[in-house]
Amino acid sequence: MTAGNCLTERQMQVLALVADGLTNPEIGARLWLTVNTVRTHIVKISASLGARDRAHCVHLAHQRRFLCRAAAPRPIRRGWTLRERQVIALAADGTTNPQIAAALRVELATVKTLMDRARIRIDARNRAQLVHLAHQQGVLPLAADGVGSGKTSEAGGQP
């Protein structure tokens, strides 16, 4: 076991690939596992971390330092709007698009547009990779020590 006896070495490998935006079949091909085995690992990772979805797994893994900021992260793209940061923060907490829309009092289409714009801006394939790259670039600070932008929003104290 690694990561504070919470995750196995194989689970850490799967988690890192989830953070990199890979799909279950891509993870399976990379690690020589069946898609069902990958799903099982992700279910166990989620249960161990108390996560609601893949993006929440990545967020909690960053907070617990299971995933580290890159030594040479991608360049930070300036100009994140408050709404973009709020949407990313809520997605990182495992919130669904309809829940985000209700929390921010905007239309569901607006949430989808903001999420797509954030993914394109940061060059992320999916929500989990968006959260991972947002942590690497300091868009999402680590709650425990405030590492990151230091800015907070109305959405749960995240940037």
- CATH classification at residue 49: 1.10.10.10
pLDDT for 34: 97
CA atoms lying within 13 Å on the CB side of residue 87? 25
Domain count, the chain: 1
- Asked whether residue 48 is assigned to any structural domain, the reply reads yes
pLDDT tens digit string along 69-107? Answer: 654 555 555 678 899 999 999 999 999 999 999 999 999
- Asked whether residue 14 is assigned to any structural domain, the reply reads yes
Q: How far is CA 99 from CA 54, 79, 87, 149, in A?
A: 16, 25, 10, 25
CA atoms lying within 13 Å on the CB side of residue 38? 21
- Asked whether residue 19 is assigned to any structural domain, the reply reads yes
Mean per-residue pLDDT over the chain, rounded? 84
- Asked whether residue 136 is assigned to any structural domain, the reply reads no
**How remote is the C-alpha of 117 from its chain's centroid?**
16
- Asked whether residue 148 is assigned to any structural domain, the reply reads no
For residues 52 and 13, what is the distance between their CA atoms, to the nearest angstrom? 19
pLDDT tens digit string along 113-141? Answer: 999 999 999 999 999 999 999 998 888 87
Whether residue 158 is predicted with pLDDT greater than 70 in this model: the reply is: no
Whether residue 21 is predicted with pLDDT greater than 50 in this model: the reply is: yes
Range of the domain at 51: 9-63
